[in-house]
Structure formats: C-alpha cells, structure tokens
C-alpha cells in the first residue's frame, strides 16, 4: 500500500524524507516522489521504481528546505509512471499533496472542477483534492480551504498537504487510512506507518478518523473536520524498526490475517451498487459486452489462488449459470485446452507474476479466449497481459503464506458472480441480498478474530499431532484444501484436504485416535451430510475439531472442540470459515518454533516453473 512521510522542523527535510521512504520500502510500491518548499518555491521530484531512483534523480542538487512531504505509491488509479506519482499539485503550483486511500467520487469532482477551468495532469483520484483546495483557497485561508474540500470527498484518505503561500505549515488529515505524528524537539515527522518515525522519536500522536492536524515548527494542533480543537494523548512507541513494520504483531502473517476486515472492505470499496443489486467492476468495463456472450469460464491459478478459484466455480455456476472449470495453471499450460472466443479464462494471482499462471494466460490468449485477471499486484505481468481484470487492493502481502489475498480474491469472485449473474437472469433481490450480506463480512471477521486467544488454546491442544484430515463439502470443500495447505506450509504438519463425501472412499482407513480430523460444518445445505461424516469418524475413535455456525447447539455432541463463526449466506461462508484455519496454522507453527513468515523451501512469488 502507499506510504506517506512528512517533515517540518529545523533540519534538512530532503534526507529525512528519503530515509523515511526507504523505511517504508518493505510495503512494496511502484514509484516515489517528494515535494519541499525551498526558498519560497515548491520543488517536486518524482521517479518510477525504487526510492533509489528518486534519490538518483535528486542527485547532488542541494535542496535547502525544512518542510516537505513524500510518498511511495502502490498504483490503484492510473498506471505507475512519473505523472501519476505523488505529490500531486493544483494548477497554480501552490499546493502539493500526498494521499493514501481512494477518493470514490473523484470522477464527479474532476468533472465539476474541469468545468471551472482546472487542468489535470494525472490519471489519479488523488489530484482532485489539490484542485479542490485551490478552488476553495480563492475565498478561504489554507486551513478553511482544506476543511471545505474534505467535506466534499467520499472515500478514504490519509493526506499530507503543503501550500507555498504558507511555507511553515503542513496540514494532514485522516479518514480510513492511518497517519501518525512523531513529535520531536522542534520538529514533527508525519508518517502512515511508525517505521518511518521510530529512528527520530518515540513520542507519537495517533490521528483518528475525521481528525485533521495543523502542524508548524512550534508544534501542532489537532482539530475535527468541523474545526473544533481536540486534546490528543502523546503515546510512547516501544517498537523497534521491524516491530513497527509489523504494526506490533509478532509476524507479518498474523498482521495480514488481522488486516482482513480492512482488505475485504478495500476489495468492495466503490464496487457495490446496492440499489440495482449489481457489482460495479470498472476494470471489466471494456469487455462488458463480450462477457454477456461468454458461455464458459476456465479459472487458472496455483496454490491458495487455485483454492479461491474452486470457490469461484461454485459461486459463478450457482448465481450466474455459466459452466466453470478450475485448473492448476501448471497443468493447463501443457495440455490441449479447447478454447474459443466465447470462453473467458480468468487468472487468479496475488503476485501477478506466477510463471505457470502467466504461461496459462498466454496460451489462452493464443487460442483466442478472452483473458481476465483477479490480481493483487498492480501492473504486474499478468495484470498487464490480460485483456481486462479486477484488482484486489489488498496491499502487499509479505508473509509467504497467503491470507488476506485469499479472502480478497473470494470477495472479488463473489462480486464477479453478481456481475455476471445480473448480466443474465439473476433477480434484483438476489443481487441485493448478496451485496448486503457481503457488507457484513468485515464485521463478522472482526468477531472471529476476537477469538484468537481461544483458537490459540485449541492450537496448543492439537500441536502434538503430526497428521490431520481437513474436510468440508460444497463451498467449504475448497476451504478444507486451503486449511490443510496453510497448516502444511507453516507448521510442516502433514494434512490432507478432502471433500467429506470422499472420505469413505479411502482416507477413513487412516483414522484412529492419533489422527484428528477438522470438519468445516456450517449450517448450510449440506450440514446433515457433513454431520454423518463426523459420526463415521467418531465411530473410529478419531478426534474432531469443528468449525460451525454460532447457535448450533447440536454440533458439540459430535466434536471434541468447536470454533464458532457467524451466520452468513452459504456462498460467503468460506470468507468466514477460513479465518480460524489461518489462525490455527499460525499458532501451531509458532508453537512448533518455526519462522512462519518464511517457511522453508517456499518463495513468495514463484516465477520459475
Ligand atoms: C500458499 C501460497 C501459494 C500461492 C501460489 C500462487 O499460502 O501463498 O500457494 O497461492 O504460489 O501465487 P500467486 O497467487 O501469487 O499466483
């Protein structure tokens, strides 16, 4: 995700800002930029690529400035290039700002501003804020102009803003995108992430949503968006650099697991049209007509992304009525797939660089199929080579085991099922129902995450077992595969994922008191069938851990331990049932003493065959 740094004080701003950007590098990004006010002039430098490119561009130019803002960008609107990099400015060149988040109504605001004569120089949503401030500055001072602009913005933001006419003032604002003020002696360092602050000061002020800070060399004032002053507590950071990057979590995997309520919101943001029960998928606009005509879908992917694809198959077949096949990309690329222009081949990939998935997409393209991507990494190779696609917006995933990318893939697949369904015969009411249940998912995940201590205790109970059978049916069969994959890769425990109905065709032979089973058994259309499977295991003295729906009072009769999840639509249960399995794998791995962020033999992005 994007990173923000700002400096105001007595020291030279440029080296501090560049250093701050480098400390945010772990988040991943595609371009960087910096603006400082030097001798009354706004000096802006931008570069595509790493911070070192920006540093080289600035080179030995001595830019004397004590105030500045800087940004690393993870592209959302507009491809990575110098003009789309932050900071963005207004027409006059007085304003410069950096922005994290998404301005949902930017097109509407941009149109209004263009009618008033504003000239835009980037494709980003962020630039609109600079022009809005310019517009309001005609009749207001800097502070008022910012506050008036914020009133018009819909979406999320972490903003740091400079105005050449106010050379010793910086204004920052937060709504849904973190901002921290590091309070030093005669200086304030602003950052989206404590890792850019810890080396300068341990005194910090956390801005909350709806708060704005007016910062100058003497100090800072925090106000509400209605210009009411707020007393803020100064906290003490007791994190080192690495802990700061993990936001206080012991591992990136745990941090990313806990980020899921937010990343799912990001995957949905601006894409739900409740009134017409439709998903708005801007990345598919150019191929909308082709999608109306397709009569077959093939999903190609690997690992966790493959498991997401299997759930997509159930969703799309049930709600859009289009036949779907899901294939390992590594298999698809070497066989003779029968494709035509009425087939859409969808690649699902977090990295967008997985060699097999890329090769599969190239093969599909050669054969004349429409190619689409569900990709997290903006402008990655697969994102560039597919005809159209939908980005996850989950931010960089650093833990090798995929967690937040998986649930954002599921969110997009649900949106795609609505989109394709509504293009066909899905009723308005069904579309609306799915959307309103989807909107509840982030809160429901919060509820599951609150149980992390309980799940940790259960993990301790099961840590001694060296084999597991994970089982589920229908929408939760792929979750059995995903849960087994997670515990395998993180904890090096042998685990197999199976469809409950298949158990009696072989794996049941393995079961005895030393071989536990995990059943994903929500109250859904296959509940009774799953319970029969549990009884068969119990009859063979197998231990059972169940993931069940809250309020199911029967299930504890068949299981030794139960983790409850909230009730949702059957198609959306995987978004909830996978959370305890991620935590279980994590805690078992930690108890067994492994480095869960870097499991042995695995790479985050598999760019070789
Ligand atoms: C498992 C995991 C891998 C990836 C797979 C595909 O936790 O992370 O199985 O899902 O390597 O990677 P992407 O999604 O980048 O194509």
pLDDT tens, residue by residue, 228-254: 999 999 988 777 777 777 888 999 999
Predicted local confidence at residue 74, as pLDDT = 72
Q: How far is CA 48 from CA 54, 87, 93, 235, 575, in A?
A: 8, 13, 21, 35, 35
State the pLDDT at residue 241: 72
Query: Residue 127: its pLDDT value, please?
Result: 95
The residue that leads in pLDDT, 301 or 193, is 301
Atom of ligand 1 nearest to the CA of 606: 11
Check pLDDT > 90 for residue 549.
yes
Q: Decide if pLDDT at 340 tops 80.
A: yes
> From ligand 1's centre to the CA of 471, what distance in Å?
21
Given pLDDT bands bounded at 50, 70 and 90, which one contains residue 607? low
Contact between 263 and 394 (Cβ < 8 Å): yes
Q: Is 392 in the pocket of ligand 1 (CB under 6 A)?
A: no
Reported confidence tier of residue 491, pLDDT bands at 50, 70, 90: very high
**Structure confidence at residue 397 (pLDDT):** 86
Work out the angle at residue 160's Cα, subtended by the Cα atoms of residues 156 and 162, and round it to the nearest 5 degrees: 140
354 lines ligand 1 (CB under 6 A): yes
Kindly give the number of the ligand 1 atom that is closest to the alpha carbon of 302.
6
Ligand 1 centroid from CA 419, angstroms: 26
With CA atoms as reference, report the closest residue to 350 among 370, 380, 321, 325. 380
Of 300, 301, 302, best ligand 1 pocket probe by most atoms within 8 Å of the beta carbon: 302
Instruction: Indicate whether 1 pLDDT > 80.
Output: no
Q: What is the mean pLDDT of the chain?
A: 93
- Order of strands across the sheet that contains 88-89: 88-89, 95-100, 157-163, 169-175, 211-216, 219-224, 229-230
**Probe ligand 1: pick from 307, 375, 402, max atoms within 8 Å of CB?**
402
Cross-strand bridge partners of residue 8: 67, 188
Ligand 1 contacts CB of residue 350 (under 6 A): yes
How far is 197 from 306, CA to CA, in rounded Å?
A: 39
Alpha-carbon distance of 588 to 43, in angstroms, equals: 52
Out of 50, 83, 447, 604, the active site residue is 604
Global pTM reads 0.80
Cα(585) to centroid(ligand 1), Å: 16
Alpha helices in 8-138 (DSSP H): 13-23, 51-58, 106-115, 127-137
Q: Which of 2, 265, 302, 404 is catalytic?
A: 2
Q: Does the pLDDT at position 358 exceed 90?
A: yes
User: Side by side, which strands form the sheet with 370-375?
Assistant: 324-328, 296-301, 343-349, 370-375, 388-391
Distance between Cα 404 and ligand 1 center (Å): 12
Whether residue 9 is predicted with pLDDT greater than 90 in this model: the reply is yes
CA of 467 relative to ligand 1 center, distance in Å:
23
Does residue 302 have an active-site annotation?
no
pLDDT band for 582, please (50, 70, 90 cuts).
Answer: very high
Query: Higher pLDDT residue, 60 or 407?
Result: 407
Q: Is 349 in the pocket of ligand 1 (CB under 6 A)?
A: yes
E strand or H helix that includes residue 529:
helix 527-538
- What is the share, in percent, of the chain residues with pLDDT greater than 90? 78
> Band of the pLDDT at 75, cuts 50, 70, 90?
low
Strands 95-100 and 88-89: antiparallel
Across the chain, which distance is largest between two alpha carbons, in Å? 81
- Kindly give the distance from the C-alpha atom of residue 204 to the centroid of ligand 1, in angstroms, as a whole number: 37
Is 139 an annotated catalytic residue? no
């Amino acid at each position: 995700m994007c990173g923000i740094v700002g400096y105001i004080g007595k020291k030279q701003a440029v080296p501090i800002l560049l250093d701050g950007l480098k400390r945010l590098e772990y988040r991943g990004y595609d371009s960087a930029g910096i603006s400082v006010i030097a001798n009354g002039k706004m000096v802006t430098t931008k570069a595509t690529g790493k911070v070192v490119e920006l540093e080289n561009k600035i080179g030995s130019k001595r830019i004397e400035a004590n105030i500045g803002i800087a940004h690393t960008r993870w592209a959302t609107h507009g491809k990575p290039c110098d003009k789309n990099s932050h900071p963005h400015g207004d027409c006059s060149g007085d304003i410069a700002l950096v922005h994290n988040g998404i301005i949902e109504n930017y097109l509407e605001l941009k149109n209004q501003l263009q009618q008033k004569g504003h000239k835009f120089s980037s494709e980003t949503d962020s630039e609109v804020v600079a022009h809005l401030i310019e517009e309001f500055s005609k009749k207001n001072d800097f502070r008022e102009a910012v506050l008036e602009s914020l009133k018009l913005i819909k979406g999320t933001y972490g903003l740091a803003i400079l105005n050449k006419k106010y050379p010793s003032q910086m204004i920052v604002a937060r709504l849904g995108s973190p901002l921290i003020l590091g309070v030093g002696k005669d200086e304030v360092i602003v950052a989206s992430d404590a890792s850019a602050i810890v080396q300068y000061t341990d005194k910090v002020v956390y801005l909350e949503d709806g708060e704005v800070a007016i910062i100058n060399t003497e100090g800072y004032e925090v106000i509400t968006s209605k210009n009411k002053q707020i007393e803020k507590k100064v906290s003490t950071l007791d994190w080192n650099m690495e802990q700061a990057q993990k936001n206080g979590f012991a591992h990136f995997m745990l941090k990313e697991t806990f980020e899921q309520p937010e990343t799912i919101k990001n995957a949905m943001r601006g894409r739900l049209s409740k009134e017409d029960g439709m998903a708005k998928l801007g990345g598919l606009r150019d191929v909308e007509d082709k999608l109306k005509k397709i009569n077959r879908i093939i999903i190609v992917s690997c690992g966790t992304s493959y498991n997401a694809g299997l759930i997509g198959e159930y969703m799309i077949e049930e709600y859009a009525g289009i036949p779907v096949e899901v294939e390992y990309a590594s298999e698809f690329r070497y066989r003779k797939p029968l494709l035509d222009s009425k087939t859409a081949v969808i690649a699902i990939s977090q990295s967008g660089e997985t060699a097999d998935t890329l090769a599969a997409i190239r093969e599909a393209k050669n054969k004349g199929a429409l190619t689409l991507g569900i990709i997290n990494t903006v402008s990655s190779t697969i994102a560039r080579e597919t005809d159209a696609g939908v980005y996850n917006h989950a931010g960089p995933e650093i833990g090798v085991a995929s967690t937040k990318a998986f649930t954002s893939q599921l969110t997009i697949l649900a949106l795609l099922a609505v989109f394709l369904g509504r293009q066909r015969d899905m009723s308005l009411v069904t579309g609306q129902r799915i959307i309103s249940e989807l909107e509840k998912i982030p809160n429901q995940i919060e509820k599951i995450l609150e149980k992390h201590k309980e799940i940790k205790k259960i993990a301790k109970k099961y840590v001694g077992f060296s084999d597991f059978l994970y089982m589920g049916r229908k929408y939760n069969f792929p979750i059995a595969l995903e849960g087994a994959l997670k515990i395998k890769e993180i904890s090096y425990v042998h685990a197999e994922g199976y469809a409950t109905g298949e158990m009696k065709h072989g794996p049941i032979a393995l079961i005895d008191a030393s071989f536990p089973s995990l059943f994903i058994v929500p109250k859904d259309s296959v509940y009774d069938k799953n319970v029969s499977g549990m009884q068969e295991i119990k009859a063979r003295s197998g231990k059972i851990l169940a993931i069940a729906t809250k309020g199911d009072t029967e299930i504890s009769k068949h299981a030794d331990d139960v983790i409850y999840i909230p009730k949702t639509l059957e198609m959306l249960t995987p978004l909830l049932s996978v959370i305890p399995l991620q935590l279980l794998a994590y805690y078992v791995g930690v108890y067994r003493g492994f480095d869960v962020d870097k499991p042995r033999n695995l790479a985050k992005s598999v760019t070789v065959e």
